[in-house]
Amino acid sequence: MRRRHPARVTVRPAAAARPAARRSMVAVGLAAALALTGAPGAAGSAAAPAPDPAATAAGDPVLPADAPRTAFEESGGAAWTSLEEEQDFLAAVDAASDRVGLRTLATTAAGRPLQLVQVGSRQLSPREVALRPSILITCLQHGNEPAAREGCLQVVRDLALDDSARTRGLLSRATVLVVPTVNPDGRAANTRANADGVDVNRDHLALETLEAQTVAALVRDYDPELVVDVHEYGGRADVYDRDLIRLWPRNLNVDEGLRARAVELAEDFVDPVVEAGGWSTGVYGIWNGPGGEPIAQVAGDGDERIMRNAVGLKHTVGQLTESQVRALAPDEQADPRVNANRRVETNVLALRGSLDMLRTRGGELRRETDAAEREATRLGAAGEGRIALGGADNEPPAADRLLLEPPCAYVLTAEQHEAVAQTLALHDVATTPTGEADGSVEVPMGQPARGVIPLLLDERATYALVPAAPVACG
Ligand SMILES: [Zn+2]
């Protein structure tokens, strides 16, 4: 049975033609960045039928007639899949497919599982996955963004059961890792934060929450090339109305080549598939004027506590995607199911775009992420390059936020080391004893984690965990 396509049941504005010229990868200065953002899919008034999704770059899956359906699908979009129904659905998908592995990674204080779904032609160990191209998809860090999770559940099912040559080819060469519900306690309470009231997506540096710790361990152990973090956002009819917006890591310590790949993921893989489905796209955090021109930035900076940036600092091609929540169009105001289906549909299409980058670029990305790790190690050992403690790819850092001659190591006292040892291990930061009797520990910059070490340990960094002592090079 082919999956029903909610886009067909409603009439949406057609996405505007994309600018012919490729956008610059890295902009310096907000004005320049806004100018380079380009005209996103404009929300015009001309009605046009959505194109046949089978003709899109990443077409519909070919599913058996008895393929499991989410409770959301069964309800036609009237109800979100409950956590209990998610368990039944994943078990049914696992039973129907020989491509799926289900693992419980952790259990929240309230007793709810954080689960990993691993999809591939064979079930591989983390070490084996790390040697091949892979993508990590994290869904529902924020518990009140339900369509993010629904899209992920459908994509898991589609990958597990799709008989198309496209999907079989993808899964023979690459592994897809999905955490459908990063924050189950937040989903149960319909809150943004977790059960302790912490915003998990501001915890990817300090790693104080079980949820962020779990994601960090996955990135460390499976070493994915692509990491996509799926969210929803509340838009505005006048300036912030794109159906699906996305953003790459803006933190300035991210390898520039991998940032360029993340921009490519957004513009050349996510956008075309979403727009071919009849939906509009844009840049997360950017408001648009009446002609589609960028007029302000309201979110989406280089904050290293945000997963989009944190995974970029670990040499992955990272991406944030967000479906627009509000019913801005009359058809969505008249029927909440139309709104819900649009939100889920755009997330499914955006994920298909990301999977298409894994399928067509996975081997290259495997080599490039390895090369970025080697280059970071070389720069750190030599004391070369700069370290940014602030700024973003569209906002030059203040002079006092740049380390132009970065240290070659940091030294932690025994007490400091005890406080941060678990966090450093989750970030895959290597340490060595100094050999001194005081139990102090050295953190060399000559390692892949060069870009994140000063953000954790330099007292000048905004969110440093401890003020370690920098060791000058030479
Ligand atoms: Zn969110």
Per-residue pLDDT of the chain (474 residues; tens, 9 = 90+): 333 333 333 333 333 333 333 333 233 333 333 333 333 333 333 344 443 444 445 678 999 999 999 999 999 999 999 999 999 999 999 999 999 999 999 999 899 999 999 999 999 999 999 999 999 999 999 999 999 999 999 999 999 999 999 999 999 999 999 999 999 999 999 999 999 999 999 999 999 999 999 999 999 999 999 999 999 999 999 999 999 999 999 999 999 999 999 999 999 999 999 999 999 999 999 999 999 999 999 999 999 999 999 999 999 999 999 999 999 999 999 999 999 999 999 999 999 999 999 999 999 999 999 999 999 999 999 999 999 999 999 999 999 999 999 999 999 999 999 999 999 999 999 999 999 999 999 999 999 999 999 999 999 999 999 999 999 998
Domain boundary among the residues 313, 343, 371 is at 371
412 and 363 together in one domain: no
d(CA 313, CA 249): 8
Q: What is the CATH number of the domain that holds 118?
A: 3.40.630.10
pTM: 0.89
Please report whether residue 285 resides in a domain: yes
Angstrom CA distances, 332 to 118, 249, 276, 329, stand at 35, 32, 20, 5
Ligand 1 center to residue 319 CA distance, Å?
A: 13
Domain boundary among the residues 344, 371, 398 is at 371
Ligand 1 center to residue 262 CA distance, Å?
A: 19
Ligand 1 center to residue 57 CA distance, Å?
A: 27
Look at residue 225 and give its three-state secondary structure: coil
Q: At what angle do helices 146-161 and 336-382 cross, to 10 degrees?
A: 80
Ligand 1 center to residue 247 CA distance, Å?
A: 13
Q: What is the dihedral of CA 455, 456, 458, 460, to 10 degrees?
A: 60
269 and 363 together in one domain: yes
Ligand 1 center to residue 229 CA distance, Å?
A: 9
58 and 142 together in one domain: yes
227 and 118 together in one domain: yes
Ligand 1 center to residue 200 CA distance, Å?
A: 9
Find all residues with CB under 8 Å of 187, minimum gap 6, and list them.
83, 140, 143, 146, 149, 181
In sequence order, what DSSP letters do the residues of 275-286 get, joined into one string? HHTT--EEETTE
- Torsion-angle region of residue 207: left (phi > 0), alpha (psi -120 to 50) or beta? left
Ligand 1 center to residue 151 CA distance, Å?
A: 14
354 and 449 together in one domain: no
Please report whether residue 402 resides in a domain: no
181 and 316 together in one domain: yes
Please report whether residue 376 resides in a domain: no
CA atoms 6, 8, 14, 17: torsion sign: positive
What pLDDT does 50 receive? 43
Pick from 119, 355, 311, 347: which is nearest to 216 by CA?
Answer: 311
Please report whether residue 382 resides in a domain: no
Ligand 1 center to residue 322 CA distance, Å?
A: 7
Q: Report residue 319: phi and psi, to 5°.
A: -155, 140
330 and 461 together in one domain: no
Q: Contact, 457 vs 394, CB < 8 A?
A: no
Q: Which two tokens mark 304? A: 């290293």
Provide the residue range defining the domain that includes 302. Answer: 6-371
Ligand 1 center to residue 184 CA distance, Å?
A: 14
d(CA 133, CA 135): 7
Ligand 1 center to residue 231 CA distance, Å?
A: 4
Domain boundary among the residues 371, 398, 427 is at 371
Q: How far is CA 37 from the centre of its chain?
A: 20
Ligand 1 center to residue 274 CA distance, Å?
A: 19
Please report whether residue 385 resides in a domain: no
Pick from 229, 391, 395: which is nearest to 316 by CA?
Answer: 229
- Alpha-helix runs per DSSP H in 116-209: 126-130, 146-161, 165-173, 184-189
Ligand 1 center to residue 142 CA distance, Å?
A: 5
Ligand 1 center to residue 259 CA distance, Å?
A: 21
Ligand 1 center to residue 304 CA distance, Å?
A: 16
365 and 416 together in one domain: no
Ligand 1 center to residue 141 CA distance, Å?
A: 6
